[in-house]
Amino acid sequence: MQPIVTVTGLTKQFSNLIAVQHLSFSVYEGDVYGFLGQNGAGKSTTIRMLLSLISPGSGKIEIFGRDLQHHRNEILAQVGAVIEKPDVYKYLSAYENLKLFARLSGIRATETRLMEQLEQVGLASRARDTVKTFSQGMKQRLGIAIALVHDPKLIILDEPTNGLDPQGIADIRNLILHLSRDLKKTVIVSSHLLSEIEQVATRVLIIDKGKKIVEGNALELFDPSQTLVALQTLNQVDALQKMQNSSWAGNLQQQRDTAILLKLDRNRIPQFHRDLVAMDIELISLEVRHSLEDYFLQVTSGNQHVDTYTD
């Protein structure tokens, strides 16, 4: 299967800050691609580069098999996006906002079509109400309706649940699933809300300080039967080299400053411990982690607040 989005070696630097570092990933048709990272990890910068709002320092972006730099207009005509809080006219109604943005996009949509789009995001009953009376969650859903007005193939949502109450978060989650399952859209959704990505994503990319840490199938990445093991030894470099040359190489996740991380079935931990002894690895500690939050904090820097809300 050919990817819809291919990012290769993407880098962006602002003054002395390297926001994105040699980032590469692929998004396939039908994915709900979870773009997960703590605040400041580089998610929004990456998304702005995907939308051609800022230019990469280096690297390449291909969308629908075309180079974004050379085919910007053709590509963006098939992309819909909501970046943080949607920019809508609060003194106009939901219907009037949608009609206005349709015209700005060159779309001559009928009233029936516009009402169908408002129905898809759960706003048909409030179509004639002014946006200033809407909750933040309703404004987010209107923003998504606007992003859908030209029937794009790819939807990009940057932190769509920021600032929402529990009901608003649930509404956006269900809308993302509706976009994927019923409307057959490919969706990229960035978030620092671990539980939200876990509940909607089919594939996941975790980044930290602008670098890719983990990318993979969500069911495998968040498999509760898999356990994260944090290993500390007297010689981390030697231990890592020995494990890379062993049958455990495929279980290695990421080396942090203080630990080597592996993911494996908990029933294999006793054998893993025996193999460490056989490899003459001088063990200081072997710590077992279980939860998604533990996993996320271990593979990122873990020094920022992380929301793990579940309703």
Residue 87 has pLDDT above 90, yes or no: no
Span 257-296, pLDDT tens digits: 578 888 888 788 899 999 999 999 999 988 876 555 666 7
Same domain, 113 and 173: yes
CA–CA separation, 259 vs 238, rounded Å?
13
- The model's pTM is 0.77
CA–CA separation, 105 vs 276, rounded Å?
61
Within 10 angstroms of residue 120's Cβ, the number of other Cβ atoms is: 18
CA–CA separation, 85 vs 284, rounded Å?
47
* Pair 100, 115: CB distance under 8 Å: no
- Tell me what pLDDT residue 304 has: 39
304, part of any domain: no
- Tell me what pLDDT residue 224 has: 65
Residue 7 has pLDDT above 70, yes or no: yes
- Secondary structure (H, E, C), 228-278: EEEEEECCHHHHHHHHHCCCCHHHEEEECCCCEEEEEEHHHHHHHHHHHHH
* Pair 51, 76: CB distance under 8 Å: yes
Most confident region among 90-94, 158-162, 305-309 by mean pLDDT:
90-94
Question: Of 16 and 298, which is predicted with more confidence?
Answer: 16
Q: In the chain, how many domains are there?
A: 2
Q: Where in the sequence is the domain holding 250, given as residue range(s)?
A: 223-299
Same domain, 79 and 134: yes
Calculated CA dihedral for residues 257, 295, 60, 54, nearest 10 degrees: -90
Query: Domain ends where: 217, 242, 260?
Result: 217
Share of the chain above pLDDT 90, in %: 58
Same domain, 244 and 190: no
Question: How far from 3 is each of 6, 28, 61, 63, 283, CA to CA, in Å?
Answer: 6, 4, 12, 8, 42
CA–CA separation, 9 vs 298, rounded Å?
24
Query: Domain ends where: 191, 217, 243?
Result: 217
Name which of 64, 41, 67 is nearest 52 in CA terms.
Answer: 67
Same domain, 197 and 61: yes
Q: Please report, as a single letter, which amino acid is at residue 52.
A: S
311, part of any domain: no
157, part of any domain: yes
Tell me, what CATH number does 239's domain have? 3.30.70.980
Same domain, 181 and 229: no
Same domain, 191 and 229: no
65, part of any domain: yes
- Tell me what pLDDT residue 307 has: 36
